Amino acid sequence: MTLTLLEEQIKKIAAPDPVWSAAAREHLNNLTKPIGSLGRLESVAEQLSVIFKGDLPDKLSKAAYVFAADHGVVAEGVSLYPAEVTAQMVRNFSEGGAAINVLCRKHACALTVADIGVNADLSTLASVQHCKVRMGSRNFAHEAAMTEEELAAALQVGIELAGEAHRAGKNLIAVGEMGIGNTTSASAIAAMLTANSINAVTGSGTGLDESARKRKAAVIENALQLHFGEDRSAAAMEVLRCVGGLEIAAMTGFYLACAAHGIALICDGFISTAAAAVAVAIAPDLSAYLFAGHCSQEPGHRYLLAWMGLEPILQLQMRLGEGSGAVLAMPVIDSAAVIYREMATFASAGVSEAQ
Amino acid sequence: MTLTLLEEQIKKIAAPDPVWSAAAREHLNNLTKPIGSLGRLESVAEQLSVIFKGDLPDKLSKAAYVFAADHGVVAEGVSLYPAEVTAQMVRNFSEGGAAINVLCRKHACALTVADIGVNADLSTLASVQHCKVRMGSRNFAHEAAMTEEELAAALQVGIELAGEAHRAGKNLIAVGEMGIGNTTSASAIAAMLTANSINAVTGSGTGLDESARKRKAAVIENALQLHFGEDRSAAAMEVLRCVGGLEIAAMTGFYLACAAHGIALICDGFISTAAAAVAVAIAPDLSAYLFAGHCSQEPGHRYLLAWMGLEPILQLQMRLGEGSGAVLAMPVIDSAAVIYREMATFASAGVSEAQ
| Rounded Cα distance, B128 and B152, in Å | 21
Can you tell me the mean pLDDT for B114-129? 97
pLDDT beyond 90 at A200: yes
| For A94, nearest residue in chain B (alpha carbons) | B349
Interface mutation vs chain B, best among A37, A84, A118, A298, most B CBs within 10 Å: A37
Residue A354's pLDDT is 80
CA distance to partner chain B, nearest, from residue A241 (Å): 28
* Residues of chain A by 3-state class (helix, strand, coil), percent to 5: 55, 10, 35
- Active-site residue, from B46, B150, B298, B322: B322
Residues 20-49 of chain B whose Cβ lies under 8 A from any Cβ of chain A: 31-41
Task: Quote the Cα angle for A273-A296-A215, to 5°.
Answer: 85
**Around Cβ A57, how many Cβ atoms within 10 Å?**
14
Q: What is the pLDDT of residues A218-233, one digit of tens each?
A: 999 999 999 999 998 9
CB contact under 8 A, B320 and A105: no
Q: Is B199 exposed, middle or buried (0-12, 13-18, 19+ CB in 10 A)?
A: middle
| Rounded Cα distance, B306 and B16, in Å | 20
pLDDT beyond 70 at A209: yes
Residue A251's pLDDT is 98
Inter-residue contact B122 to B128 (CB < 8 Å): yes
- Active-site residue, from A95, A322, A342, A353: A322
Instruction: Specify the pairing of strand A128-130 against strand B264-267.
Output: unpaired
Residue A201's pLDDT is 98
| Rounded Cα distance, B103 and B114, in Å | 18
Q: What is the pLDDT of residues B267-285, one digit of tens each?
A: 999 999 999 999 999 999 9
pLDDT beyond 70 at A1: no
Q: Which member of A38, A331, A352 has the closest CB to residue B318?
A: A38
pLDDT beyond 80 at B3: no
Chain B CB within 8 Å of residue A89 CB:
yes
Beta-bridged to residue B154, according to DSSP, are none
Q: What is the pLDDT of residues B191-225, one digit of tens each?
A: 999 999 999 999 998 889 999 999 999 999 999 99
Chain A CB within 8 Å of residue B355 CB:
yes
Q: Which member of B91, B331, B350 has the closest CB to residue A331?
A: B331
| Rounded Cα distance, A51 and A49, in Å | 6
| Rounded Cα distance, B203 and B219, in Å | 13
Q: What is the pLDDT of residues A286-334, one digit of tens each?
A: 999 999 999 999 999 999 999 999 999 999 999 999 999 999 999 999 9
Can you tell me the mean pLDDT for A140-165? 98
Q: Which residues of B touch A82 (CB under 8 A)?
A: 352, 355
CB contact under 8 A, B332 and A328: yes
Q: What is the CA radius of gyration of chain B?
A: 20
Chain A CB within 8 Å of residue B318 CB:
yes
Can you tell me the mean pLDDT for A21-50? 97
CB contact under 8 A, A344 and B97: yes
CB contact under 8 A, A352 and B207: no
User: For the whole prediction, is pTM greater than 0.95?
Assistant: yes
CA distance to partner chain B, nearest, from residue A71 (Å): 17
For B25-53, b where at least 16 C-beta lie within 10 A, e where not — what string? Answer: bebbebbbbbebbbbbbbbbbbbbbbbbe
Q: Which member of A97, A314, A354 has the closest CB to residue B343?
A: A97
Residue B354's pLDDT is 79
Residue B87's pLDDT is 98
pLDDT beyond 60 at B1: no
Chain B CB within 8 Å of residue A10 CB:
no
| For A101, nearest residue in chain B (alpha carbons) | B343
Q: Is A309 exposed, middle or buried (0-12, 13-18, 19+ CB in 10 A)?
A: exposed
Inter-residue contact A306 to A195 (CB < 8 Å): no
Q: What is the DSSP letter of A15?
A: P
Can you tell me the mean pLDDT for B247-276? 98
Interface mutation vs chain A, best among B270, B335, B355, most A CBs within 10 Å: B335
Residues 201-240 of chain A whose Cβ lies under 8 A from any Cβ of chain B: 206-207
Q: Which member of A36, A103, A339 has the closest CB to residue B99?
A: A339
Work out the pLDDT band at A138, boundaries 50, 70, 90. Answer: very high
Q: Which member of A102, A316, A354 has the closest CB to residue B39?
A: A316
Chain B CB within 8 Å of residue A354 CB:
yes
Q: What is the pLDDT of residues A241-289, one digit of tens each?
A: 999 999 999 999 999 999 999 999 999 999 999 999 999 999 999 999 9
Length of chain A: 355
CB contact under 8 A, B344 and A32: no
CA distance to partner chain A, nearest, from residue B6 (Å): 35
Q: Which residues of B touch A31 (CB under 8 A)?
A: 99
Q: Is the ipTM of this complex over 0.90?
A: yes
- Catalytic: B322? yes
Q: Which member of B95, B320, B335 has the closest CB to residue A349?
A: B95
Q: How far is CA A232 from the centre of its chain?
A: 23
CA distance to partner chain A, nearest, from residue B13 (Å): 29
| For A348, nearest residue in chain B (alpha carbons) | B97
Residue A2's pLDDT is 58
Of chain B, the end-to-end C-alpha distance in Å amounts to: 63
- Mean per-residue pLDDT of chain B: 96
Q: What is the pLDDT of residues B155-199, one digit of tens each?
A: 999 999 999 999 999 999 999 999 999 999 999 999 999 999 999
